[in-house]
């Protein structure tokens, strides 16, 4: 649909466009959460069950929706409609413009902005994960290696992936060793879950993430570890998130002295065991086994998945150090990042 025509229609028929956007978001939520019940859908989308009942009836009559015992799911027609509408909805909601502004401001090749705020709405992480899975399917092929970091954002990615011919002979590996945090958030667990969901291959790195110098020097000489590190440090694709510096250090059980040191150095973000200030300067580095920033090169595709307004300063900080090939974020984070960058000018 022509962008100019869309803007005129929005001025002349705002109610029509509002209904279109609302129904599109309802279908999208069903798609990423299926099978889903009406009550859960109404609560997550913050609409009354009476209004939802009317919309569900419309979707059902138009053969866009199936209602089963387990919950609602989209038909093939529903999925096709979503794909056909996507670019038009991006324009109508302003996300196309937001993506372009963020690409210029952060010097990122591509940005994908999902609707909402993942700080407040769990389904937004599913949207970001879906976009990442689509990119994996379009980019990866036979024998490729994907290095995956840990954390809550990437834990959601494992639930979004599904079997696909282009992923069947891909190998998922953890970007780094185990962390001092919940097992389900560790890179080992997430890479294994991704591989199982995609019916692909995986390798695990059975070492702690943070080591003494002696232990580090000893472990990297082990033949099995050395061979695995070759895979981890030369992947076709790297998928990671960015965290707030102090939050990440706390989650990993850092001492009060270490936390105070990071605060003194104005640490804003963390990625790959490196901590950055708001200028993108490295202010601290953990001794870790796994992928290093120096391993990232032009031959790899680096995808950063990070959303929520609370991560805006962290995203801006890391991207100032090293723009990724693709940033997948949400509306709240995108707007807050632009505000943060303006404040720093």
Domain CATH code at residue 78: 1.10.10.10
Q: Are residues 68 and 121 in the same domain?
A: no
Query: Per-residue confidence at 338, pLDDT binned at 50, 70, 90?
Result: very high
Q: Of 31, 60, 92, at which residue does a domain stop?
A: 92
Give yes or no for a cis peptide into 329 (omega within 30° of 0): no
Distance, in Å, from the CA atom of 190 to the CA atom of 150, rounded to the nearest integer, reads 7
Q: Are residues 24 and 136 in the same domain?
A: no
Q: Are residues 261 and 318 in the same domain?
A: yes
Positive or negative, the CA dihedral 149, 150, 151, 154 is positive
Q: Are residues 255 and 213 in the same domain?
A: yes
Quote the pTM value: 0.87
Domain CATH code at residue 205: 3.40.50.1360
Q: Are residues 132 and 71 in the same domain?
A: no
Q: How many domains does the chain have?
A: 2
Q: What is the pLDDT of residue 13?
A: 60
Q: Are residues 338 and 304 in the same domain?
A: yes
Distance, in Å, from the CA atom of 1 to the CA atom of 284, rounded to the nearest integer, reads 49
Q: Are residues 272 and 313 in the same domain?
A: yes
Q: Are residues 236 and 116 in the same domain?
A: yes
Given a cut of 80, whether residue 65 has pLDDT beyond it is yes
Given a cut of 60, whether residue 18 has pLDDT beyond it is yes
Distance, in Å, from the CA atom of 247 to the CA atom of 152, rounded to the nearest integer, reads 12
pLDDT in tens, 112-151: 999 999 999 888 999 999 999 999 999 999 999 999 998 8
Given a cut of 70, whether residue 7 has pLDDT beyond it is no
Q: Of 92, 118, 141, at which residue does a domain stop?
A: 92
Q: Are residues 177 and 251 in the same domain?
A: yes
Token duo for residue 188: 């080992």
Domain extent at residue 87: 3-92
Q: Are residues 245 and 174 in the same domain?
A: yes
Q: Are residues 86 and 127 in the same domain?
A: no
Given a cut of 60, whether residue 3 has pLDDT beyond it is no
Q: Are residues 85 and 120 in the same domain?
A: no
Q: What is the mean pLDDT of the chain?
A: 89
Residue 138 CB burial class (10 angstroms; 0-12, 13-18, ≥19): exposed
When pLDDT is averaged across residues 325-339 and rounded to a whole number, the result is 97
Q: Of 35, 63, 92, at which residue does a domain stop?
A: 92
Distance, in Å, from the CA atom of 254 to the CA atom of 269, rounded to the nearest integer, reads 15
Token duo for residue 158: 């494992």
């Amino acid at each position: 649909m022509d962008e100019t025509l869309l803007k005129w229609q929005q001025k002349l028929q705002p109610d029509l466009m509002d209904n279109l956007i609302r129904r599109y978001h309802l279908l999208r939520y069903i798609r990423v959460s299926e099978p889903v019940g009406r009550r859960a859908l109404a609560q997550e989308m913050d609409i009354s069950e009476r209004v939802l009942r009317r919309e569900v009836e419309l979707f059902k009559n138009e053969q866009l929706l199936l209602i089963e015992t387990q919950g609602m799911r989209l038909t093939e027609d529903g999925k096709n409609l979503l794909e056909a509408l996507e670019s038009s909805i991006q324009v109508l909601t302003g996300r196309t413009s937001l993506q372009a502004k963020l690409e210029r401001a952060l010097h990122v090749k591509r940005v994908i902005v999902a609707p909402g705020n993942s700080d407040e709405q769990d389904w937004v992480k599913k949207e970001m994960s879906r976009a990442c899975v689509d990119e994996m399917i379009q980019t990866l092929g036979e024998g490729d290696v994907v290095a995956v970091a840990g954390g809550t954002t990437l834990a959601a990615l494992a639930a979004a992936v599904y079997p696909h011919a282009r992923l069947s002979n891909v190998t998922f590996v953890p970007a780094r060793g185990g962390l001092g945090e919940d097992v389900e958030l560790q890179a080992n667990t997430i890479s294994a879950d991704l591989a199982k969901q995609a019916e692909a291959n995986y390798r695990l790195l059975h070492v702690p993430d943070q080591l003494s110098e002696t232990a580090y020097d000893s472990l990297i000489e082990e033949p099995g570890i050395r061979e695995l590190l070759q895979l981890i440090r030369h992947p076709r694709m790297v998928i990671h998130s960015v965290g707030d510096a102090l939050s990440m250090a706390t989650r990993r059980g850092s001492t009060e002295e270490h936390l105070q040191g990071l605060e003194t150095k104005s640490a804003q973000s963390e990625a790959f065991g490196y901590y950055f200030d708001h200028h993108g300067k490295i202010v601290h580095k953990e001794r870790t086994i796994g992928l290093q920033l120096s391993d990232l090169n032009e031959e790899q595709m680096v995808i950063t998945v990070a959303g929520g307004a609370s991560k805006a300063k962290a995203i801006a900080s890391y991207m100032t150090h090293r723009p990724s090939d693709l940033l997948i974020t949400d509306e709240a984070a995108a707007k807050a990042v632009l505000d943060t960058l303006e404040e720093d000018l």
